[in-house]
């Protein structure tokens, strides 16, 4: 096996201290609180991340507030050049960022490279910010009167992100936020925080003025400080559903605009006419990629009619070939889970499946590599029924469930009755049924023979039901709307010939 590189976090010391980034520089925390960061493949602590106090969050918000007027006033062409420069620097350092992701999150290096690449697409979209902020103009709306619309930034905005995409999800937020002229305070996941500080340094090098982009680490204390801060005007959140709901309610109760993306239970329907090999490849890739720790992972397969037996056999045949190992080993396809506790929690779903009436077709607890890492090999459960924990919970690990139904209608009903509505997919050769599915399914992102339908950067990402609290999806056109406010100007230049007193409601003439 080839070792690709040593993660930078481990070259320097056994346990590295991970600081905040406030006002354009690295700032050591002074709250006296910190959290452990692990290399999940080795099960060893590699970092200690500072946890911000309310006062430290306030310092970051004040830095962002001070930077706002000048950043807002900077021309779009200069902002756009800075975004192009950010794009170049992130691109140049994509493998450095990917190594950091693998060392703290555990996902395999190629998957980490993919994460950076998908995040970069959002930065590339934002390089076109002059075009994206273009308003409308109506000449002579009334005699001598012109009307035009503009979009303006909000001010200081906050972003709170999950552990599973430590580079991409922050990019979904900070790129459009700062492109629109806001200043930004990021609270990344405390489990894998280093990519955010690494990126902060790149943004500075790209010419982002000090204070425009800040990072505070921490837990609920830091999150609550952002949610309650009077100078923070909007909050973007991505994470689990209970915290998303809490963040949305707290932020909006405090008068803030909020988009809070939550968890998921993504169903993939396989119809009897589907290409079973293609569906099995897709199910394995989407179910076990990133060890199932993706909000768009397929976690339930709804197999219709005779597709079920064929699919179980096809997936079962593929699973022993999935290479589980340290993400820095070139041949690893699936890495460990994020923490030991999470690994135990996921393993318990497999343990308890028989008592809930499901059968364990492949038991991943048997195939995990030895050593101290938080590994769990792929598991496959069959006959998983709604109302059981394995069906209802977002497992967020390498456990794929199959539920069997007789008809397409039953399959769609299962998806539509599920409280989550992030992504879903249908595998079929029948275009008419696929079109009907797209028409009636209750989910925000739909794949037709595509298992992980994450929208490209010029569309927006977001689920329905318990997968999103708020009105606007993230990145793409809705991201631009979220980070700006509209203004309409009605203008007349002095023309003494048409000036008179008129107390009636203005009418167009």
Q: Do residues 474 and 238 lie in contact, with contact meaning Cβ atoms separated by under 8 Å?
A: yes
Q: Give the interface segment with ligand NAD, choosing from 5-13, 32-40, 236-244, 491-499 (CB under 6 A).
A: 236-244
Total residues interacting with ligand NAD, rule: CB under 6 A: 27
CB of 114 to ligand NAD, least distance (A): 15
CA distance 189 to 169: 11
CB of 279 to ligand NAD, least distance (A): 23
Judged by beta carbon, residue 44 or residue 118, the one nearer ligand NAD is 118
180 among known catalytic residues: no
- Which residue in the block uniquely carries the two structure tokens 């004040």? 62
CB of 3 to ligand NAD, least distance (A): 29
Among the listed residues 238, 258, 315, 426, the single contact to ligand NAD using CB under 6 A? 238
Tokens for 209?
């003025």
Judged by beta carbon, residue 51 or residue 71, the one nearer ligand NAD is 51
CB of 342 to ligand NAD, least distance (A): 8
Contacts of ligand NAD in 415-454 (CB under 6 A): 422
Tokens for 194?
């280093």
Q: Give the interface segment with ligand NAD, choosing from 90-98, 163-171, 193-201, 501-509 (CB under 6 A).
A: 163-171
- Residue 108, SS3? coil
Judged by beta carbon, residue 79 or residue 294, the one nearer ligand NAD is 294
Report which of 297, 277, 306, 301 is spatially closest to residue 337, judged by C-alpha positions. 297
- Residue 54, SS3? helix
CA distance 310 to 329: 33
Which residue minimizes CB distance to ligand NAD? 239
- DSSP lists the bridge partners of residue 469 as 260
Judged by beta carbon, residue 162 or residue 453, the one nearer ligand NAD is 162
Contacts of ligand NAD in 464-493 (CB under 6 A): 467
Residue 394 in the binding site for ligand NAD (CB under 6 A): yes
Report which of 268, 266, 273, 267 is spatially closest to residue 307, judged by C-alpha positions. 273
Tokens for 417?
């009755």
CA distance 235 to 224: 11
Contacts of ligand NAD in 267-326 (CB under 6 A): 295
CB of 420 to ligand NAD, least distance (A): 9
Q: Do residues 447 and 285 lie in contact, with contact meaning Cβ atoms separated by under 8 Å?
A: no
Tokens for 317?
């045949």
Residue 264 in the binding site for ligand NAD (CB under 6 A): yes
Binding mask 89-128 for ligand NAD (x = CB under 6 A): ----------------------------------------
Judged by beta carbon, residue 207 or residue 455, the one nearer ligand NAD is 455
How far is C-alpha 353 from the chain's CA centre? 29
- Residue 121, SS3? helix
- Residue 469, SS3? strand
Judged by beta carbon, residue 183 or residue 460, the one nearer ligand NAD is 460
Residue 160 in the binding site for ligand NAD (CB under 6 A): yes
Ramachandran quadrant class, 396 (left: phi over 0; alpha: psi -120 to 50; beta: rest): left
**Helix segments in 161-275, DSSP class H:** 168-179, 194-205, 220-228, 241-253
Among the listed residues 39, 164, 290, 418, the single contact to ligand NAD using CB under 6 A? 164
Distances (CA, A) of 306 to 15, 201, 272, 276, 311: 53, 55, 6, 11, 9
Among the listed residues 109, 184, 396, 469, the single contact to ligand NAD using CB under 6 A? 396
CA distance 248 to 469: 6
Judged by beta carbon, residue 238 or residue 271, the one nearer ligand NAD is 238
Q: Give the interface segment with ligand NAD, choosing from 119-127, 233-241, 275-283, 368-376 (CB under 6 A).
A: 233-241
* Type and span of the H or E element at 8: helix 8-12
Tokens for 54?
């309310």
Judged by beta carbon, residue 124 or residue 293, the one nearer ligand NAD is 293
CB of 185 to ligand NAD, least distance (A): 13
Helix axis angle, 109-126 relative to 94-104, nearest 10°? 130
Residues 126, 180, 258, 295: which is the catalytic one? 295
Q: Which residues have CB under 8 Å from 499's CB, separation 6+?
A: none
Helices (H) and strands (E) in the chain, counts: 17, 23
For 484, phi and psi rounded to 5 degrees? -135, 165
Contacts of ligand NAD in 243-262 (CB under 6 A): 243, 261-262
Among the listed residues 220, 306, 429, 435, the single contact to ligand NAD using CB under 6 A? 220
Judged by beta carbon, residue 23 or residue 262, the one nearer ligand NAD is 262
- Residue 170, SS3? helix
Among the listed residues 161, 194, 259, 418, the single contact to ligand NAD using CB under 6 A? 161
Catalytic annotation, residues: 295
Residues that bind ligand NAD (CB under 6 A): 160-165, 169, 187, 189-190, 219-220, 223, 238-240, 243, 261-264, 295, 394, 396, 422, 463, 467
């Amino acid at each position: 096996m080839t070792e690709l590189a040593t993660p930078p976090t481990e070259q320097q010391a056994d346990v590295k201290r991970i600081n905040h980034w406030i006002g354009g520089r690295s700032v050591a925390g002074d709250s006296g609180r910190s959290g452990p960061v692990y290399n999940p493949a080795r099960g060893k602590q590699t970092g200690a991340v500072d946890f911000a106090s309310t006062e430290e969050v306030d310092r970051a918000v004040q830095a962002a507030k001070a930077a706002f007027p000048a950043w807002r006033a900077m021309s779009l062409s200069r902002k756009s050049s800075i975004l192009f420069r950010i794009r170049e620097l992130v691109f140049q350092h994509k493998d450095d960022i990917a190594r950091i992701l693998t060392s703290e999150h555990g996902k395999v290096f190629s998957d980490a490279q993919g994460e950076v690449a998908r995040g970069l697409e959002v930065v590339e979209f934002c390089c076109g910010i002059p075009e994206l902020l273009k308003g409308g103009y109506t000449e002579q709306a009334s005699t001598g009167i012109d009307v035009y619309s503009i979009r303006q930034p909000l001010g200081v905005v906050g972003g709170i992100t999950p552990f599973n995409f430590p580079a991409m999800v922050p990019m979904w937020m900070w790129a459009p936020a700062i492109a629109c002229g806001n200043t930004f305070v990021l609270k990344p996941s405390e489990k894998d925080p280093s990519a955010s500080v690494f990126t902060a340094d790149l943004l500075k090098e790209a010419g982002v003025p000090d204070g425009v982009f800040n990072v505070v680490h921490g837990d609920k204390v830091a999150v609550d400080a952002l949610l309650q801060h009077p100078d923070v005007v909007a909050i973007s959140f991505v994470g689990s559903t209970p915290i998303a709901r809490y963040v949305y309610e707290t932020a909006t109760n405090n008068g803030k605009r909020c988009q809070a993306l939550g968890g998921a239970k993504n169903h993939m329907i396989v119809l009897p006419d589907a290409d079973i090999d293609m569906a099995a490849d897709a199910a394995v890739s989407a179910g076990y990629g990133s060890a199932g720790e993706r909000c768009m992972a397929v976690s339930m397969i709804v197999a219709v009619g005779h597709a079920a037996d064929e699919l179980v056999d096809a997936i079962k045949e593929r699973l022993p070939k999935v290479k589980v190992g340290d993400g820095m080993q070139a041949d690893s396809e699936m890495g460990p889970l994020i923490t030991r506790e999470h690994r135990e929690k996921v393993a318990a779903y497999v343990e308890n499946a028989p008592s809930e009436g499901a059968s364990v077709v492949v038991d991943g607890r048997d195939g995990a590599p030895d050593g101290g890492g938080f590994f769990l090999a792929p598991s496959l459960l069959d006959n998983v029924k709604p109302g059981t924990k394995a069906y209802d919970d977002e497992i967020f690990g390498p456990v794929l469930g199959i539920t069997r139904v007789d008809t397409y209608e039953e399959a769609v009903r299962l998806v539509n009755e599920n409280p989550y509505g992030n992504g879903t997919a249908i595998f079929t050769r029948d275009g008419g049924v696929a079109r009907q599915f797209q028409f009636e399914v209750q989910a925000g992102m739909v794949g037709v023979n595509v298992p992980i339908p994450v929208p490209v950067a010029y569309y927006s990402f977001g689920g329905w039901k318990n997968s999103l609290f708020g009105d606007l999806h993230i990145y793409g056109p809705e991201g631009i709307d979220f980070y700006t406010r509209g203004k309409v100007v009605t203008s007349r230049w002095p023309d003494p010939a048409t000036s008179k007193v008129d107390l009636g409601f203005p009418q167009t003439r």
